[in-house]
Amino acid sequence: MERTAVNPWEWSIKLGYNQAEVIDGASRQLICAGQTAVDENGAPQHPGDMRAQISLALDNLEAVLNEAEMDLSNVVKLGIYATDVDEALKNFDLMGMRFGPHQVAPPMTLLGVTSLAIRGLLFEIEATAMA
């Protein structure tokens, strides 16, 4: 799979994502449901702690990707939902720490929402991956 960044402007690169990417040579696509800060039984974890919830949601996303024999380098699109966008952005260094080593900056959308499906969750991340 070959990824070609499309950035008519460079401001988003500083924030850790490309405006778009052209994907060539991919043969498999994985659509991931939103991953949150829940344990293996679906119980919410880390109430009130955005940073810990982002970290666990990323752990859960990586677990789904690994089960499909992929990793974060295969992610080509992210959708992120947060109950407090400012607090999520304060902790977006976690995104860079996870995606940076894979040298990818998938296009993403971050939306502020009033609540998520399970009470107490603050952050949800969905992904599309290709291999």
Measured in degrees and rounded to the nearest 5, phi and psi for residue 3 equal -110, 130
Contact of 68 with 30, CB cutoff 8 Å: yes
The SS3 of residue 86 is helix
Give the residue ranges of the chain where pLDDT is below 50: none
CA atoms of 73 and 70, how far apart (whole Å): 8
Quick one: pLDDT at residue 81? 98
Quick one: pLDDT at residue 35? 98
Quick one: pLDDT at residue 3? 95
Express each pLDDT in 91-122 by its tens digit.
999 999 999 999 999 999 999 999 999 999 99
User: How far lies 116's CA from each of 10, 121, 127, in Å?
Assistant: 32, 6, 17
42 secondary structure, DSSP code = S
Quick one: pLDDT at residue 104? 96
Quick one: pLDDT at residue 51? 98
Quick one: pLDDT at residue 88? 98
Quick one: pLDDT at residue 80? 98
What number of CA atoms fall less than 13 Å from residue 44's CA on the CB side?
Answer: 14
Q: Which two tokens stand for residue 113?
A: 């929402």
Spacing of C-alpha 73 from chain mean position: 12
